[in-house]
Structure 1
Amino acid sequence: MRSPLPDYLTEVLRGCADSSGALADYIPELARADPDRFALTLVTAEGAVYSVGDDHTEFTIQSISKPFVYGLALQQRGFDAVLDVIDVEPSGEAFNEVSLERNTGRPLNPMINAGALAAHALVLDGRQPEASVEDIRSLLSSLAGRELTIDEKVASSELENSYRNVAIANLLRGYEVFEDDPDEIVEGYIRQCSVTVTTKDLAMMAATLAAGGVQPVTCEEIFSRDVVRQVLSVMATCGMYDAAGDWLSTVGIPAKSGVSGGIIGILPGQLGIAAYSPRLDDHGTSVQGVAAFGRLSRDMNLHLMDAPMVAHSVLRRRHVIGEGDESLTLLELQGDLQFTSSEGLVTAVVDEPVETKRLVFDLSLVRTILPVGRRMLLEMIGRLHRDGVEVVVIDPEGHLPEPDTGYGFRPQVHTSWEDLEAQG
């Protein structure tokens, strides 16, 4: 059986196609992007990757680097040192506004440019300018699980049009937020933003935060859990700039966007999401990316404020009963079927295909099935049926009323083993 998730993500891409918005033409190199590119990638906290669309297209990370560099500053310098320099309050303003505290000059948060420049200075910590850029490139590479490079053409293009960032950096230096050369801080920050990535890279970075700071594939602990909690908290309230409140209430996923067209989102304990489409709205955020995140949040119950459920393994036991043509595979399920637990079930069946002619899903110990869990379970049943497997469900609590798989097939549903055996 093939996983249904890529088909679903492809449907999301098609459903969110939109030609509105405009490229970031104030940066000449970004204005050369193909406006029709669109990609979407999910990576679970366990490292399973689901990716569709133009997911091999490379683009520069831009402001999506900000939460990770903030995390690096926290990891290197400690919470007190960073909070002394950068606050955590939403600015309610655009990303490039001069949002500073009165009297102190402290940036309001690390997701706006003023705070990102201060975070870069914290990582630099009085060293040679190249040191902070290499630390950041190395960090992003570790998060992605592969070596990343800097797009020098984009860096040069941005540096030639960096007047506003230079003004902010000079203002920060005037307030003694940092003691480094403002021009060096701006150049380092721009090179930080010019690291090239794909949606697969970004989703893996996001999944590292979802997994509490542990890279899902390499198993390297990159951030402490305390640092991850701080980063995600600031992303939730400040990551989408002057649209942060609307984003949190409607989409409900801690997120960060970039002017090249990327967006990342993190659902703690479950997964990381990345979208890419270079047409931007008035907030400097990908039009199609916003639509895709909204669709995923609604369809998959990903809103952070949905009632949380503990993600235990949903597959309690798997064993074969009987021999020969009369044998069957029994899958005993338990707990709550939400996205992550259902994805684990899909993976278990994909990795170890059913070899008997009959399969029984026993839902006797299942507590709750969310809409996404129902869709994924019925999709599995439909695909197994098409593969020639006779599927039966034991459902004493009525979790699957009218189980239409959408393939013109409805599985037999019994209330107990005794009922199943009685009907042969």
Structure 2
Amino acid sequence: MIYNTGTISINGNTATGTGTNWTAAASQIRVSQTIIVLSNPVQMFQITAINSGTSLTVTPAASPALSGQKYGILITDSLSVDGLAQSMSQLINEYDENIGAWETFASTSANQTITVTINGVSVTIPALGKLAQKGSNGAVPIAQGGHGGTTAAEGRTNLGLGSSATRDVGTTSGTVAAGDDSRLNTVDGKSGGVIKGNVTIDYGGVLFLRDTEVEGVAINAVANQFADSSWRPIVVFGATAGRKSVLLSEGGVLCKAGLDNWSNLRTSYFLDYESGPIALYIDSTRVGTLQLATTSDKFLKKEIEYLSDKNVMGELSATATALSEVMEWKPATFKFKKRGIIPESETKLGFIANDLIIPSPECVKGKGLEEGFDENNAADAYSLDETAMIAKLTLSIQELQKQIAELQGRNV
């Protein structure tokens, strides 16, 4: 008889089978049998060890190595006395091993597994002792995949299931809430979380943002009619505990270019006031100050002293002094440099404040900038006091008019 199932590869003294089962009892393969490999040239080997259903040890070593070849193993004919004796001996050994394993399978009470040979393949299965193992109360413990109880209630308790495990899903008391449950209509008492989607506070509702237990900001909306007869909602920032709320915007304020227009220039503005004029910032650049209408009412002033064109104690009169100062003024054309978001200006006509600080210090405001100043914050820059300059020019005109009158008097 010949066994030729699958193909064979031989490298050195190791034969590897593909699609073979050399350990199956029915194969009748044993040590010392001959293998004929149908290679070119044909090679013959003798089996020295059966390692598994797909591995044999053979002699002599293959030369050259073989791969994926058809083959035939000359097995002993069971009709001969020698062959029959060897086949029977192999089968009896396998049956004896399996019978012992199956006896253990049926009789053991221990938590263990057994290994039996089925069609020449070793298979490991749990014994009845492992399959039937349970606790002292007759229940399968949690560690073995059970719930350790003999009743449903005991099982729920052992697994840590609460009362919700026995409740139905519904919308009434005593049921487990579904996602669309109408009872989920308040955030009262919640400690936090994320709300996805729109949130609406109905008319009359107020949003409270508390800083302490009693103090905070109350935000609500009211509709009001404006001068153009349109109705617009107004966001009202109130406060609790009798305090007034203050709006602090970290990113500044962004406004449209008029009621119906939206500017493509996305810049925000800031107003800052500590003392003096109100500073205006666009993004991070201080662009200047806001000049309010100057008040000049007599009743808003004190220590009023009118300047005269008369000489006082040998000194020049106020008008003559003003004229001498103005004569040192240097009108100039110039351009403002690009600074931050402020572009370079067109050519302008005016004065350089630094030139007036010595002859006419009353006409100059500010501390003055230094080399390396922050271009985005020119708060210390000199600026001109136009009212003081007008006063200097008025005194100068008066002095000139006085001199004209004196010259005219001499020519009479």
Q: Same fold (TM over 0.5)?
A: no
TM-score range for the pair, normalised by the shorter chain length? under 0.3
Q: What is the TM-score when the length of structure 2 is the normalising length?
A: 0.19
More strand by share: 2
Q: Which has the higher contact order (CA 8 A, sep 6+)?
A: 1
Q: What is the TM-score when the length of structure 1 is the normalising length?
A: 0.19
Higher Cα radius of gyration: 2
